[in-house]
C-alpha cells in the first residue's frame, strides 16, 4: 500500500503541499510510514468530488448500495492478517486484543449496518402524506486515534449505505488501516468520488472540512474540548453535527456483589487498550464498608495486567500511543498524588522513559473535585470512590460533566433499578454484553447524536414531510 497518497475522486494522488506526517510505531519508535499533510486545497478537491458523485450515488436503491458495500466487505476481510499486524504496529496493543476489538469486531459492525440498510423503511405513511428519510449530501468524517479502524467503520459504513458521499479524515496518529478499507471498497466498484480520504492535521484538514460550505454534516469523535471547536466551526454554516466525545464512566458495585466479578469487569474496561478508551470504567464506586475487600480484589486482579512489548504474549497492555499522550497521563498521576490521592496499586511512571509504559494504577481517597476524579485521563488509571447508601452511590456516579457509559454490579433486580437512574448513554448490568445493534452515544458533555444501530444509521438521513 502506498501511504504517501490521498484518495480523491477514485484515484490515489499526491497531496497539494508535498509535505508529509510521520506515523510512529509507539513501541519501537520507528517510522511506519509517512502520509500526506493535506490542506485546504486537497479538501476542496475532495469535497468537489463528493458533491459531484452525490446525485448518482443517492439515486441508487438501498439494495444497490448495500451490494457494493457487501462486496467491499469481502475484499476488506482478505486484508485481515495485514490489518492485525498493522494495528499492532500503529496503535501498539497486544495481538489478542487487537484481533478481537480492532479488526474482527469491525467486520461484524459493517455486517450489522448492511442488515439495517437492507431492511430500513425510508418512508412512513401519515393520514395526509408521508415522511421521507433521504440522504443528506456530502459528509465529513473525523475519526480518533484510539480505535483507528473502529471509528472509521462506524462512520463510513452508515454514511455511504444511507446514500451520502464522504470525505474521511482519520487521525494523523493512526491513519494507516483506513487506506485498506478505502482500497477494498474501490476494488468492489464503489463509484469515484463517493468516498475520499484526506490525511493531515486536525487544525488544517479538520478545520477546512468543518467550515466548508458544501459539507452538510460533520461527524466527529474525540475529546470534548475538540468537539466544542468542531461544533462551533460546523455551526458557522449550520451543518448537522454528530459528536462522540469524552467520558469518566463509573462502575457501581452494590452490597452483596461478587468482588471477583466486579474487579474483572472494571479492569477489563479501564486497563485494556492501555486505558485509551472513551467508555472505560475509570471510577469504581463501592460501599464504604467494602473498601478493603474491593482493594484486595483489585490487587489480585492487577496481577493479570502487564504493560510491555505488544508482540510479547505475556503483555496484556502496550505502550501509550505517543509522547504527548504519555506526558498527559504522567501529569495526571502527579496531580492526583498532589491532590492527596493514595496510590494503592501501581507506580509512578518515568516521564522521561524511552518506553512509554504505564502499569495499571489505582487511587483512593481523592476528593470529589480532584482532576483524576473528574477529567478523562486516557491511561490505565482507576479511582476508587466509596458511598454510604444507594442514594449517595447514584449521586457520586452522576457527579460528572460526562455521561457516556456506566455499569452496575450486584443482584440483578437491584442493579437494574440503579442502572435506570444513571445519567449515561449506555449502562451495563453485571456481565451484560453490548449489542452491536444498540445505539452508542452519551449524555451531557459526552456528545450529541448516536452511532451504531438504527439510530446511528439515521444520523446520516434528512427528514422530509410530504403532504398530498
Q: Pairing state of beta strands 217-221 and 138-142?
A: parallel
Span 436-447, pLDDT tens digits: 999 999 999 999
Are the C-beta atoms of residues 308 and 277 closer than 8 Å to each other? no
Residue 428 Cα distances to 254, 261, 310, 405, 433, angstroms: 14, 13, 29, 8, 8
Span 136-151, pLDDT tens digits: 999 999 999 999 999 9
Residue 103 DSSP symbol: I
Query: Which domains does the chain possess?
Result: 6-245+446-467 (3.40.605.10), 249-429 (3.40.309.10)
Are the C-beta atoms of residues 220 and 240 closer than 8 Å to each other? no
Could you list the beta-strand ranges (E) of 232-364.
Answer: 240-244, 249-253, 281-287, 342-345, 361-364
Across the beta sheet with 461-467, what order do the strands follow? 123-126, 129-135, 461-467
Where does the pLDDT of residue 108 fall: very low under 50, low under 70, confident under 90, or very high at 90 and above?
Answer: very high
Residue 341 pLDDT: 98
Span 192-204, pLDDT tens digits: 999 999 999 999 9
Range 264-290 average pLDDT: 98
**Alpha helix positions (H), 280-422:** 291-302, 323-338, 371-374, 390-398, 412-419
What is the Cα–Cα distance from 446 to 53, expressed in whole angstroms? 33
Range 23-42 average pLDDT: 98
Name the nearest CA neighbour of 122 among 466, 468, 467.
466
What is the Cα–Cα distance from 18 to 326, expressed in whole angstroms? 30
pTM over 0.95: yes
Residue 416 pLDDT: 98
Give the chain's largest Cα–Cα span: 70
Residue 242 Cα distances to 219, 234, 246, 459, angstroms: 5, 10, 13, 7
Span 369-406, pLDDT tens digits: 999 999 999 999 999 999 999 999 999 999 999 999 99
Could you give the percent of the chain with pLDDT greater than 90?
A: 99
Range 220-230 average pLDDT: 96
Place of cell 505475556: 314
Instruction: Give the N- to C-terminal CA distance of the chain in Å, as an integer.
Output: 53
Span 144-190, pLDDT tens digits: 999 999 999 999 999 999 999 999 999 999 999 999 999 999 999 99
What is the Cα–Cα distance from 268 to 375, expressed in whole angstroms? 20
Name the nearest CA neighbour of 389 among 298, 269, 249, 255.
255
Residue 339 pLDDT: 98
Residue 366 pLDDT: 98
What is the Cα–Cα distance from 331 to 184, expressed in whole angstroms? 41
Residue 4 pLDDT: 97
SS3 content of the chain, % helix, strand, coil (to 5): 40, 20, 35
Where does the pLDDT of residue 2 fall: very low under 50, low under 70, confident under 90, or very high at 90 and above?
Answer: very high
Q: Mind telling me the catalytic residues?
A: 244
Locate 296 and state its grid cell. 484486595
Arithmetic mean of pLDDT over the chain: 97
Backbone angles phi, psi at 272, to 5 degrees: -60, 150
What is the Cα–Cα distance from 298 to 437, expressed in whole angstroms? 32
Amino acid at each position: 500500500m502506498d501511504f504517501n497518497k490521498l484518495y480523491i475522486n477514485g484515484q490515489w494522488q499526491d497531496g497539494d503541499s508535498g509535505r508529509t506526517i510521520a506515523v510512529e510505531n509507539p513501541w519501537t519508535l520507528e517510522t511506519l510510514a509517512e502520509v500526506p499533510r493535506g490542506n485546504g486545497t486537497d479538501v476542496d478537491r475532495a469535497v468537489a468530488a463528493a458533491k459531484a458523485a452525490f446525485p448518482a450515488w443517492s439515486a441508487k436503491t438501498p439494495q444497490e448500495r448495500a451490494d457494493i458495500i457487501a462486496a467491499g466487505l469481502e475484499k476488506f476481510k482478505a486484508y485481515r492478517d495485514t490489518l492485525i499486524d498493522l494495528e499492532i504496529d500503529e496503535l501498539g496493543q497486544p495481538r489478542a486484543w487487537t484481533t478481537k476489538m480492532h479488526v474482527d469486531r469491525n467486520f461484524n459492525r459493517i455486517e450489522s449496518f448492511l442488515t439495517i440498510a437492507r431492511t430500513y423503511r425510508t418512508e412512513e405513511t401519515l393520514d395526509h402524506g408521508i415522511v421521507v428519510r433521504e440522504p443528506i449530501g456530502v459528509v465529513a468524517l473525523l475519526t480518533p486515534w484510539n480505535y483507528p479502524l473502529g471509528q472509521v467503520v462506524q462512520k463510513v459504513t452508515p454514511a455511504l449505505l444511507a446514500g451520502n458521499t464522504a470525505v474521511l479524515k482519520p487521525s494523523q496518529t493512526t491513519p494507516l488501516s483506513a487506506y485498506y478499507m478505502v482500497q477494498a471498497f474501490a476494488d468492489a466498484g464503489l463509484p469515484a468520488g463517493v468516498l475520499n480520504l484526506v490525511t493531515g492535521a486536525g487544525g488544517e484538514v479538520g478545520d477546512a472540512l468543518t467550515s466548508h460550505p458544501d459539507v452538510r454534516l460533520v461527524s466527529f469523535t474525540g475529546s470534548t474540548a475538540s468537539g466544542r471547536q468542531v461544533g462551533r466551526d460546523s455551526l458557522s454554516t449550520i451543518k448537522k453535527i454528530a459528536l462522540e466525545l469524552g467520558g469518566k464512566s463509573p462502575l457501581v458495585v452494590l452490597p452483596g456483589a461478587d468482588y471477583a466479578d466486579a474487579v474483572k469487569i472494571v479492569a477489563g474496561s479501564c486497563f485494556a487498550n492501555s486505558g485509551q478508551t472513551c467508555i472505560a470504567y475509570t471510577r469504581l464506586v463501592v460501599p464504604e464498608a467494602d473498601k478493603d475487600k474491593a482493594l484486595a480484589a483489585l490487587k489480585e486482579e492487577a496481577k493479570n495486567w502487564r504493560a510491555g512489548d505488544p508482540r510479547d504474549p505475556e503483555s496484556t497492555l502496550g505502550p501509550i500511543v505517543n509522547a504527548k499522550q504519555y506526558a498527559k497521563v504522567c501529569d495526571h498521576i502527579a496531580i492526583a498524588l498532589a491532590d492527596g490521592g493514595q496510590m494503592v496499586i501501581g507506580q509512578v511512571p518515568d516521564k522521561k522513559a524511552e518506553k512509554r509504559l504505564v502499569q495499571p494504577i489505582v487511587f483512593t481517597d481523592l476528593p470529589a473535585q480532584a482532576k483524576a476524579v473528574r477529567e478523562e485521563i486516557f491511561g490505565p488509571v482507576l479511582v476508587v470512590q466509596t458511598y454510604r447508601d444507594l442514594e449517595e452511590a447514584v449521586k457520586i456516579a452522576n457527579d460528572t460533566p460526562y455521561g457516556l457509559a456506566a455499569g452496575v454490579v450486584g443482584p440483578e433486580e437491584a442493579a437494574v433499578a440503579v442502572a435506570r437512574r444513571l445519567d449515561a448513554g449506555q449502562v451495563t448490568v453485571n456481565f451484560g454484553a453490548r449489542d452491536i445493534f444498540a445505539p452508542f452515544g452519551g449524555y451531557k458533555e459526552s456528545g450529541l447524536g448516536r452511532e451504531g444501530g438504527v439510530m446511528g444509521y439515521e444520523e446520516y438521513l434528512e427528514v422530509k414531510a410530504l403532504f398530498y
